[in-house]
């Protein structure tokens, strides 16, 4: 390694529409997410069938996020970008999200979305990247707003992320989530407009 260079890993996140062949990978993450019973409304014992039926529901757009590990890289002082030292070595499935109308008929102009991130990829900005992608997709599909119906209040990193992406808490449901450790905790309804 050149003197003064910093060792890096070059990771590239790709978000694309889900295919049937993604079902196993989605189920792995989904199961991991609900197993702890502290952030998601689904029962920790939700079956693969139920989970995938929900994730690929007829009215639903399903997306997946993959991380390509391009290889080690060196950052050379005085150069702006890192230079990869290798070819694509590994593709890892790191998350998925769904986007759908929150209500039928006369409420269908408001979208709803749900996100899952693999444990191994937490804290890397995957949730934020999917959130931004999701807002852009929702606009493209003509939705006028986005609503999260069930953000567990103790899931502070999620609440904070959605606030950073422009969502406001528009409602508080007292004790509406049965937290595996904390008992009944409040749930937020969060909302943001997609039109000016």
C-beta of residue 38 within 8 angstroms of C-beta of residue 179: yes
111 binds its own copies (CB under 8 A): no
Closer residue to its own copies in complex, CB, 11/145: 145
The CB-of-23 to its own copies minimum distance in angstroms stands at 20
Choosing from 23, 109, 128, 139, the residue that interacts with its own copies (CB under 8 A) is: 109
Binding characters for its own copies, 6-35, by CB under 8 A (x = yes): ----------------------------x-
Q: Is 142 in the site for its own copies (CB under 8 A)?
A: no
φ, ψ dihedrals at 19, nearest 5°? -115, 165
116 within 8 A of 95, measured Cβ to Cβ? yes
Q: Which residues contact 165 (CB under 8 A, 6 or more apart)?
A: 128, 131, 132, 135, 192
Q: Which of 116, 120, 10, 123 is nearest to 65 (CA)?
A: 116
3-state helix, strand, coil in the chain (%, to 5): 30, 40, 30
Query: Which of 64, 52, 59 has its CA nearest to residue 18?
Result: 64
Residue with Cβ nearer its own copies (164 or 180): 180
x-or-dash pattern for its own copies, window 41-70, by CB under 8 A?
A: xxxx-x------------------------
Q: Which residue ranges make up the site for its own copies (CB under 8 A)? A: 34, 37, 40-44, 46, 102-110, 144-145, 147, 149-150, 170-180, 184, 187, 189, 191, 193
């Amino acid at each position: 390694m050149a003197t003064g260079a910093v060792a890096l890993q070059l990771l590239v996140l790709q978000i694309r529409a889900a295919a049937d062949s993604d079902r196993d990978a989605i189920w792995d993450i989904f199961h991991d997410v609900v197993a702890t019973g502290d952030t998601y409304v689904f029962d920790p014992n939700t079956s693969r069938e139920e989970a995938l039926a929900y994730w690929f529901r007829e009215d639903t757009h399903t997306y997946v996020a993959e991380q390509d590990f391009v290889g080690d890289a060196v950052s050379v002082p005085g150069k702006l970008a890192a230079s990869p030292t290798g070819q694509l070595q590994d593709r890892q499935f790191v998350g998925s999200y769904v986007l759908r109308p929150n209500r039928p008929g006369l409420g269908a102009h408001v979208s709803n979305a749900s996100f899952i991130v693999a444990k191994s990829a937490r804290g890397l900005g995957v949730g934020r990247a999917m959130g931004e992608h999701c807002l852009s997709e929702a606009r493209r599909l003509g939705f006028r707003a986005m609503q999260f119906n069930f953000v567990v209040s103790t899931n502070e990193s999620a609440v904070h992320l959605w606030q950073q992406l422009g969502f406001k808490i528009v409602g508080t449901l007292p004790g509406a989530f049965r937290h595996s450790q904390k008992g009944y905790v409040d749930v937020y309804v969060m909302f943001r407009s997609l039109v000016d």
